[in-house]
Structure 1
Amino acid sequence: LPTTGSENKDVPEYLAVVSKIVSENRGKEMPLPYPDGPKLTVGPVEDTEYHDRPAVVNAWGKFYLPKTTKMEVIGYVEGTSYPCDQLVLMTCEDQKVYGFDGDELHLVASCLNHMFTEGIADPALQSYYHGEPFKDPLAPLDINLIEHLWTTLQSLVWLMLTHLSTKRSKIFKVEVPSPSSLFHLLCSLQLFHKQ
């Protein structure tokens, strides 16, 4: 399986080129340098044990990596130390090579060229489990934004309640509590926020 001849990560047709090369070389077996023994059997997803499991195939590009990406299966390897019969190999828009063992998606090479010269990494360079992108739904930027909004909200509530309590105003026909009650309210809000 030849490489695309480019390690440029901005090649828009990368996956189309890979798909064409896989089609042209379908069924060929190619030895990989490491680990000793396994051979890559070139082929699309239809040639793998996942040919009739579209939900699993669909999940590879959506539910394992930090960002949704398109995947192109390049074939499979048998006889590895990964816990599966077929380690399905694929590449995506970032041109890295991943292997799926039935449970986790593993980064096994930084690019196709690396896979053919160095083999597949064993153990994996990095492993991803189903749902990993959703383990921490709030990114650091989001947490900073929430903290800023919380501080702003506290200030606004304090100003509003202080103003209303000095005028003995009513909101929605409910009398505003005295300033000491406001202090207790804000303290309880602060305790709630820290939990």
Structure 2
Amino acid sequence: MMRDTPLSTENKWDHVKSEFLDTYTNAGFVDLAKIPKIVKSHCSTRIPLVKPKSYSLRVCGQEDTVYAGNEDELEAWKDFYLPKRMEMEVIGAIDDFPCEAFGLQLVLLLCEDGNIYAHEDEVLHLVARSLKELFSSGMTFPGIETFQLGECFEYTEEEYNKIMESSEVKEVKEEHRKFREYLDLELLQALTDFKKQIKAELSTASDVQTEEERIRPMEALMCCDDVHQNPMPVVPWKQQTKPTHHQEQEHASFLGTS
């Protein structure tokens, strides 16, 4: 009796990519109903990206991102960024990415029109026109286009500010603030517990410890004392400006895409 041979790592990547790409219709749209099953089947699989170099797409749903449990966030992504409401599904995250996203985590969203967006705090970046482009060419960040929270309602500065003061947008921003506050408290508690553990180890330290062994927990305590997070600044309404050629070169050099 023949047994299935385990897929090699590269073959597994190709298999996952193929399943994602099969959700596209001939017209270029996506059958989003198929996405949750694919994500669940391949959760935690890491698919290396062509660019930015050294980064991977970690396949996961919203429940495995920093926005786990925040059901309103996905609705906000659908309603309050793009020119018109678009259905979306979370397909993964890029972890420890240098950006303004909470937890340095970009959440990747597959839109019904086939586009791929990355969420960075209160900005959606169009990072690829399709999954095929994402897998073959990599992610464009900052995005090909960017959309700020509430920008879909933008007409004039006065109208924009009025809408940003609306009860719906205020509610979304307040929920976002509370959720970030909750995550901050969890992080603070974890650091506090870690600090207590280090202090306990110091208090029971043996006299025969080496100098390096005595210094290591002290350094850990200093790191705990230094950890803090400033609140995200409120971004006022403004017309977007194109980055200078020098800024584009610096960013490309940083990501290793030049």
Q: Is the 8 A contact 2:128 2:134 kept in 1?
A: yes
Equivalent residue number for residue 105 of structure 2: 86
1:37·1:79 contact (CA, 8 Å) conserved in 2? Answer: no
Which of the residues 112, 115, 118 maps onto 2:137?
A: 118
Aligned residues: 136
CA contact (8 A) 2:28 2:114 kept: no
Q: Is the 8 A contact 1:9 1:94 kept in 2?
A: no
* Aligned counterpart for 1:8 among listed residues 26, 32, 35: 26
Whether 1:104 aligns to 2:123 is yes
Tell me the residue number matched to 1:29. Answer: 46
Q: Distance in 2 between matches of 1:24 and 1:107?
A: 26
Paired position in structure 2 for 1:135? 154
Deviations for 1:84-134, whole angstroms, at most 9, x for unmatched residues?
211000111101000001120110000011101111102210000111111
5 Å-filtered alignment, 1:32-71, equals 32-71=49-88
Residues 17 and 68 of structure 1, relative CA distance in 2, 3 Å threshold:
same
Runs of 4 or more above 4 Å deviation? none
What displacement does 1:56 show?
A: 2.0
CA gap of 1:54–1:118, structure 2 versus 1, over 3 A, is: same
Q: Which has the larger radius of gyration?
A: 1
Measured on the aligned residues, the alpha-carbon RMSD in Å equals 1.8
Offset from partner CA, 1:141-186 (integer Å, 9 cap, x none) = xxxxxxxxxxxxxxxxxxxxxxxxxxxxxxxxxxxxxxxxxxxxxx
The two structures have a TM-score, normalised by structure 2, of 0.49
Query: Which one has the bigger strand percentage?
Result: 1
5+ residue gaps in structure 1? Answer: 138-195
Q: Cα gap change, 1:70/1:78 in structure 2, threshold over 3 Å: closer, same or farther?
A: same
